[in-house]
Structure 1
Amino acid sequence: MKDIRQPAHHRGRGPGRLAALLLALVVMVGLTGGTALAAPDGTKKASPSAVTVPASAMDAVAAMQPSWNLGNTLDAFPNEDSWGNGQTTKATFDTIAAAGFRSVRIPVTWTDHQSATAPYTIDATYMARVKQLVDWALADGLYVVLNVHHDSWMWIDDITSDHDNVMARFNSTWSQISTTFRDAPRTLVFEGINEPSFGNATEAQKTQYLRELQTSFHSVVRASGGANASRLLSLTTGGPGSGTGGSADQAYMDDLYTTITALNDSQLVAQVHFYSWYPFSVNAAGGTHYDAAAQKHLDDTFANIRTTFVARGIPVYIGEYGLLEWPNHFHPSRVERGEALKYYEHLNYTARSVGVTTALWDPFGYLNRETLQWRDQALFNWIKSSWTTRSGTASFDKIYVPKSSTITAKSLTLNLNGTSFRGVWQGGTKLAAGRDYTVSGNQLTFTAKALTRLVGNRAYGVNSTLQARFSCGLPWNIDIVTNDVPVLSNATGTTDSFTVPTQYRGDDLATMHSTYADGTNAGPLNWNPYQEFNKAFSPDYTNGGIILTLEFLNSLRESETATLIFHFYSGATVTYHVTKSGSTVTGTVS
């Protein structure tokens, strides 16, 4: 995963004196992983891990489920706290273990702590810090996946023009890591390279380079002896372009399968990454809902993973999964909450069905690294529940009741997901079937009388929240919302700043369709009229506006009017026109 950085005011503090002393202690006692370390009083500490790793790689990877990524931390550059997550402590791993995770992936970028010329020495203090985090995690009974992360594009991509030096540096890097962790327990897993893609190299070249790197990684680690002789090694798929490595596209999985079988080693693990159907993951090209296309993409991908690897006895570690830049608590949510919950529920159910281990990518959006509290406990509860059971959902998590219209019955479609429907509750009170709602097949219909009571004084926004409950899993929240069609107003701005004045009137922005009079697409996403949320436009609910971003404004044609159709989650649409003339931007209501 490429870096997702935070604003400067969210950046963490540097290490305190205690952390510095601990780091110095690790350097003093040496870098021999997994052996007993001497305490200041001369006594011995326990081995960092007492977990027994199954002999079968398939069983071992299964024992790693579920997994979590310490993202934007040691993979940050130039330093661990550069991207806002501060200094990791032992308590971080205590929290992860207590939450039910059985493994952690610790991405590491070595570039800024390593000589760029032979012999490519890694700074001893940095290596000691990496070892400190690994040992903390192992001491909590967690499996650990340790890798070479952003180096993949920072210098490994140069293999196309500087082959011999890149290979020498790559081998030296893994030789030093292998030596440091030679005696660490087998709960430590090595991952050769994160998301390799090799820029603009041809597909044939990408296959050749990746196979060479992974074969060399395997040789270097195995030759280092100790526990490395039988350590689990994770090999990752390539990708079609920059930042797309770890792809689950069939061609890249086939290439990896060929590499793994050629190495003839029973302790190898296939790794792919999964961030859902791209239009849904970033809310672009009309991907506002976790619809049939997004669901099919997941089903097909995991079926192919099973056929390519699992059915052939090769374990699979989904080293990163999530949605791109969601949740991001510093920007408006580009993916509607209920739709995101459906994705997590579906993904972890399917992963269990296929028999793969999943590692949640967490750059900062899930666990607050300062407080060690989940930023959204209800969201984490949903993800955690999906590890072991299914939950029912519905076609949406809101019922819109227009204020300007007579209240009528409203329906949602239930997605039982193998459960059975138990009823609807408001707090501790169960609504009355027949009077407050009816169920016909998979249609849940709320009566006009119940909705009249639930909207109360009909103030715009959420008036009440219900829960549809099922025979297992977590309940599905349903907000009862009073709304009307949003009202937009004329405005004048500049190419540096333009906002469409907007009265949302209880509604939420879903997407923006943008075209010119000749039918061509207007905006930075030139292959689809539905522009990307937060990249071309972004709602400002607090101040009543829709911000058109600099990227969108700069993409507009001179003196040519773009017609914008704003789509809202209630189903309402509002048309707006924008014209750029020099540095002036004018917006008018249709």
Structure 2
Amino acid sequence: MKKTKKLLMLLTACVLTFSTCLAKTEPTKANAATKVKNIKAAVTTKTNSQTYAESMQPGWNLGNSFDSVGSTGETSWGNPVVTQQLIQTIKSQGFKSIRIPFTAYGRVGAAPNYTIDSTYLTRYAQVVQWALDQGLYVMINIHHDSWEWAEYINADDDNGVSMTEYKAIWTQLANYFKSYSSKVCFESLNEPYFKNHSGDVSTDIQMQRLSAVNTQFRTIVRNSGGNNTSRMLVLPTLNTNNSDDRCTSLYNTISGFNDPYIMATFHYYGYWPFSVNIAGTTTFDSTTISDLTSSFDRVYNHFTANGIGVVTGEYGLLAFDSSSSAIEHGELLKYFDYINYYAKSKGIALMLWDNGNLLNRTSYTWNDQALYNTLKASWTSRNSYSTSDMLFVKYADRTKDISMNLTLNGNTLSSIYNGSTKLVLGTDYTYSNGIVTLKGSYVNKFISGSYGTKATLTMKFSAGVDWNVFLNYYTTPVLSSATGTTSGFNIPVAFNGSKLSTLEAVYSDGSGAGPQNWTTYKQYSDAYTANYSTNVVTLTSNFFSACNDGVITLKLHFQSGEIIQYNITKSGTSVKSN
């Protein structure tokens, strides 16, 4: 996706949540569910919408194609033309549903008809049919319109213009697709957000406007006839956020319809600090897990437990929009294993957001095969892993045993391989009570020569995907002096086999320097990057745009455990190390 505005709303919601966690002054709204009208006891027999949602699991998003905005249509945001082979690949990879975001903005005629460009709609429908031909469920929505004209629907100063356009667009879409298979479902509006032309409005007013939008949407579709009289409709919470007040508002809207063919949807991109690597949250820790479980629990309690199916229309990690290197790879894999496990336990379907950076749309292969392997395995079982997938050994420690705790998730360890060579239990390693100990005599074989990854140890389990542990020979990284400018300052780093985990930036008084100065730990890609082929850590122009002149102390945290201090002085547009 081109998520400039989309990301802004997600971050706004996440910052509020994270700020609350830091302050610990606002209690969780645990009793908000009591405000739900006519809330029922947990449903034991699956309803139509619950069954439909579970049939969509797992799902995938065709992002940044038909939702892109620009004169070149579906290729405007850098992706190639969608091919039938791509859709066939999605099916062959095990996905059961596909969300095909559609942006009407820039593709409709003048008021009052707002006629959708027929060529574009016909082309979009061709891809929908390709998906149906593969037996996939298909979700149709209007997408980035949320950040253009649609945010003014029912605005006090809009005179009904935006609602008129909304009704016109959905009237056309409903009529166009009304004879299509029941495997096509309609989503009213992506990540809805509402404001006045003169400025923002309260959350309560926004929820009232969303209820009106969802009501108009349902009326239009149901009155269009054909298969639309019983077509599954997907209604979002405000901002597709999982807070109690937003879930309660949507539940009340849905329950008022008394319509068995309605599902709820929300989006989830993880605990924000982990999702973008900020505030020192670099591992899939207990706080990150708690955020995930509480989010899905809220949605389950409001909807699934009351007979309303739920689909997470988008899930992933926000860091994917900027860099695949922002989050340590093993921690990333743990996140995807856990979210698939937990969502499944709650009967909630997941649709992976892919803007073209996950499944390559030219070669039809995964850019990160280990990620896909983890996803695929997690659809049917749990995966196992060690505390970290990275081991760092210095020369002086080469003969020491190394112990690794395993999280088995109900599996058993079968064997360990280094390439095609099977490690010998009792000689190369020992195993007891979930702890693998590599013998120093085995580790010592690899600790010589150049620094870097010396062996990839593959753990095999009774179920789930293999888990790789990378054995790295390293010594303490060395930083060199440098001069440069605020357009992008390169710090020469001899990584010496280690890798950067996170970076702190503080002024002399200890306060945070750079963007998001509520934390000293900076966000990867936004404030800094690491390049292991050119041996530099780069402070971005965005970092310096939020910095005062003077001395800034950097603390570079490495995955091997070292923390190295590096001082710089900013003077106007000039930067130099001290």
Give the alignment's TM-score, normalised by structure 2: 0.89
Number of the residue aligned with 1:227: 227
Q: Secondary structure at the match of 2:444?
A: helix
Please tell me whether the aligned partners of residues 398 and 440 of structure 2 are also in contact (alpha carbons under 8 angstroms).
no
User: Are residues 1:412 and 2:404 paired?
Assistant: yes
Counterpart of 1:359 in structure 2: which amino acid? M
Alpha-carbon spacing, 1:582–1:456, altered in 2? closer, same or farther (3 Å): closer
Number of the residue aligned with 2:569: 579
Residue of structure 2 aligned with 1:165, choices 161, 167, 189: 161
How big is each residue's C-alpha offset from its partner over 1:66-121, in whole Å with a ceiling of 9 and x where there is no partner? 11100000001122101111111111111111111111000011111012521211
Number of the residue aligned with 1:363: 355
Correspondence list, 1:51-450, <5 A: 56-78=48-70, 79-159=73-153, 160=155, 161-162=157-158, 164-199=160-195, 200-238=200-238, 245-326=239-320, 331=323, 333-403=325-395, 405-450=397-442
Counterpart of 2:494 in structure 1: which amino acid? Q
Query: CA offset at residue 327 of structure 1?
Result: 7.5
Q: Secondary structure at the match of 1:106?
A: strand
Number of the residue aligned with 1:241: none
Distance in 2, matches of 1:341 and 1:273, equals 19
User: Any unmatched runs of 5+ in structure 1?
Assistant: 6-53, 239-244
Number of the residue aligned with 1:488: 479
Distance in 2, matches of 1:337 and 1:496, equals 29
Q: Identity of counterpart residues, as a percentage? A: 38
Alpha-carbon spacing, 1:415–1:4, altered in 2? closer, same or farther (3 Å): farther
How big is each residue's C-alpha offset from its partner over 1:526-566, in whole Å with a ceiling of 9 and x where there is no partner? 111100001100002111110000011121112x2111100
Counterpart of 1:402 in structure 2: which amino acid? K
Distance in 1, matches of 2:215 and 2:385, equals 45
How big is each residue's C-alpha offset from its partner over 1:181-203, in whole Å with a ceiling of 9 and x where there is no partner? 11111110000000012253211
Distance in 2, matches of 1:61 and 1:368, equals 27
Worse overlay, 197-206 or 252-261: 197-206
Q: Which runs of 4+ in 1 moved over 6 A?
A: none
Counterpart of 2:316 in structure 1: which amino acid? G
Query: CA offset at residue 336 of structure 1?
Result: 0.9
Please tell me whether the aligned partners of residues 484 and 505 of structure 1 are also in contact (alpha carbons under 8 angstroms).
yes
Distance in 1, matches of 2:2 and 2:205, equals 23
Distance in 1, matches of 2:241 and 2:406, equals 33
Q: Secondary structure at the match of 2:293?
A: helix
Number of the residue aligned with 2:13: none
Correspondence list, 1:516-555, <5 A: 516-555=507-546
Distance in 2, matches of 1:55 and 1:509, equals 49
Q: Secondary structure at the match of 2:143?
A: coil
How big is each residue's C-alpha offset from its partner over 1:256-313, in whole Å with a ceiling of 9 and x where there is no partner? 1111111211100000111111011101111111111111111111222221111111
User: Any unmatched runs of 5+ in structure 2?
Assistant: 6-45
Distance in 2, matches of 1:55 and 1:518, equals 59
Counterpart of 1:380 in structure 2: which amino acid? Y
Residue of structure 2 aligned with 1:570, choices 550, 560, 577: 560
Q: Per chain length, whose mean CA-contact separation is higher, i.e. which structure has more relative contact order (CA < 8 Å, sep 6+)?
A: 2
Number of the residue aligned with 2:488: 497
Distance in 2, matches of 1:449 and 1:347, equals 38
Q: Secondary structure at the match of 1:307?
A: helix
Please tell me whether the aligned partners of residues 47 and 307 of structure 2 are also in contact (alpha carbons under 8 angstroms).
no
Distance in 2, matches of 1:213 and 1:102, equals 29
Alpha-carbon spacing, 1:203–1:538, altered in 2? closer, same or farther (3 Å): same
Please tell me whether the aligned partners of residues 99 and 138 of structure 2 are also in contact (alpha carbons under 8 angstroms).
yes
Q: Secondary structure at the match of 1:179?
A: helix
Q: How many residues align?
A: 530
Give the alignment's TM-score, normalised by structure 1: 0.87
Two-structure CA RMSD over aligned residues (Å): 1.7
Please tell me whether the aligned partners of residues 398 and 444 of structure 2 are also in contact (alpha carbons under 8 angstroms).
no
Alpha-carbon spacing, 1:189–1:398, altered in 2? closer, same or farther (3 Å): same
Query: CA offset at residue 458 of structure 1?
Result: 4.1
Counterpart of 2:451 in structure 1: which amino acid? Y
Distance in 2, matches of 1:406 and 1:105, equals 51
Alpha-carbon spacing, 1:401–1:349, altered in 2? closer, same or farther (3 Å): same
Correspondence list, 1:497-516, <5 A: 497-516=488-507
Distance in 2, matches of 1:97 and 1:442, equals 37
Worse overlay, 246-255 or 311-320: 246-255
Distance in 1, matches of 2:123 and 2:490, equals 46
Query: CA offset at residue 352 of structure 1?
Result: 1.3
Counterpart of 2:404 in structure 1: which amino acid? L
Distance in 2, matches of 1:228 and 1:2, equals 31
Please tell me whether the aligned partners of residues 47 and 308 of structure 2 are also in contact (alpha carbons under 8 angstroms).
no
Distance in 2, matches of 1:99 and 1:4, equals 29
Query: CA offset at residue 410 of structure 1?
Result: 1.6
Query: CA offset at residue 443 of structure 1?
Result: 2.5
Query: CA offset at residue 371 of structure 1?
Result: 1.8
Please tell me whether the aligned partners of residues 313 and 351 of structure 2 are also in contact (alpha carbons under 8 angstroms).
yes
Q: Secondary structure at the match of 1:479?
A: strand
Please tell me whether the aligned partners of residues 332 and 534 of structure 1 are also in contact (alpha carbons under 8 angstroms).
no
Number of the residue aligned with 1:25: none
